[in-house]
Every structure is written in C-alpha cells, then in structure tokens.
C-alpha cells in the first residue's frame, strides 16, 4: 500500500491548537487593557459566582495548583483586590474575600470579557455557535475517552466559561 499523501487539510488538532493560542493571546490582551489578567479574572469570577470557603476550593475552581494560586493571591492582596484571613475554626485555612477594589476590577474585567466574547461571535449566528459548542464537546470527549458532559452540566459549564477561556495549564 503506498504511503498516504499530504493531508487535504491541516490536522484538526493543529488547527484547534493554533486557534486556541491566538484567541487566548487576544483575550490576555483584552484583559490587560482593562487592567487585569486571565488569572485575576479567573479568581474574581470564581469568588463572585461560587460560594468558596477557602484557598483550596478556590484553586480547584480556577483549575490551578494551590502554590500557583497563592502566588496570584499575594499580588491581588497587595493590589487591594482581595483579603485573606485565617478561618477561626481552622487556623491552617485561609478564607479569601473580594474587596471593594476587587469588585471594581471585576466589573472592568467583566466588561472586557463580554466585549471580547462579542468580538469572537461577530458574523457567527446562534446556530453556528451552538454547533461549535457541540463539536468542541465531542472533540473533548474524543481525547478524554468519551467523557462528554450533557444537559444541565454543559449549560452550567458554558454559562461559567462563556467569558473565560479554560486555564492554559501553564500554572
């Protein structure tokens, strides 16, 4: 059997990786223009949308290691965006709370994220967006052994992630 010729189109994984990198960089730039970053956005949106009791839960929600989260929280604390205090019931646990300055940063970053999402959706209809979501779910399922969330789990995930790309893993 002769060896296969060159692919008719670029491999989908390569195309997806390149697109994800370009979109991720553009999102980074949009948040930087609003005075933030993806890690700050992910921490703030997690604090605003979930009831989190401590740094461990926050790290899980953001999708990074606790040591990496601590690094980001140190900067956010120094900038006055969050406060940390010891849990009176367990002094080894830090409770994280958003400050008034953090609320203002959240509002700026949310506006930037919404504007970026609108930019991404430009000239793409709702049906195409829905189909893209289903295709991306299937691609994720193909690489995770078929673990594709359905129904309410997908809607909840998309609602949370609609303005935040998944963490890049570069924590």
Helices (H), 37-167: 38-49, 55-62, 66-78, 100-121, 126-143, 152-161
**What pTM was estimated for this model as a whole?**
0.76
Quick one: CATH architecture of 12-122?
A: Orthogonal Bundle (1.10)
CA distance 30 to 34: 7
Domain ranges of the chain: 12-122, 123-164
Q: What is the pLDDT of residue 95?
A: 87
pLDDT of 156 > 50? The answer is no
Helix (H, G, I), strand (E, B) or coil at 40: helix
Those residues with Cβ within 8 angstroms of residue 145's Cβ, 6 or more apart along the chain or in another chain:
none
Q: Is the pLDDT of residue 79 over 60?
A: yes
Confidence of residue 94 (pLDDT cuts 50, 70, 90): confident
How confident is the model over 5-47, as pLDDT tens digits?
Answer: 777 888 999 999 999 999 999 999 999 999 999 999 999 999 9
Q: Is 134 helix (H, G, I), strand (E, B) or coil?
A: helix
pLDDT band at 147 (very low <50, low <70, confident <90, very high): low
Length of the chain: 171
Mean pLDDT of 146-157: 52
The H or E element containing residue 83 is: strand 82-87
Q: How many CB atoms lie within 10 A of CB 139?
A: 14
Q: What is the b/e burial string over 96-115, where b = at least 16 CB atoms within 10 angstroms of the residue's CB? A: bebeeebeebbebbbebbee
Give the other-Cβ count within 10 Å of 30's Cβ.
Answer: 20
Q: At what angle do helices 66-78 and 38-49 cross, to 10 degrees?
A: 90
């Amino acid at each position: 059997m002769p060896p296969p010729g060159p692919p008719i189109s670029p491999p989908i994984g390569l195309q997806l990786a390149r697109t994800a990198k370009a979109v991720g960089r553009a999102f980074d730039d949009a948040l930087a223009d609003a005075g933030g970053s993806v890690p700050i956005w992910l921490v703030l949106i997690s604090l605003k949308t979930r009831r989190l009791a401590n740094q461990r839960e926050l790290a899980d929600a953001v999708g990074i290691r606790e040591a990496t989260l601590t690094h980001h929280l140190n900067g956010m604390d120094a900038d006055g965006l969050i406060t940390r205090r010891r849990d009176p019931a367990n002094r080894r646990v830090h409770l994280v709370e958003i400050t008034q300055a953090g609320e203002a940063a959240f509002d700026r970053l949310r506006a930037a994220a919404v504007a970026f999402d609108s930019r991404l959706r430009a000239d793409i209809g709702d049906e195409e967006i829905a189909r893209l979501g289903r295709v991306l779910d299937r691609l994720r399922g193909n690489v995770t052994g078929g673990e594709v969330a359905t129904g309410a789990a997908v809607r909840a995930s998309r609602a949370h992630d609609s303005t935040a790309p998944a963490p890049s893993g570069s924590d």
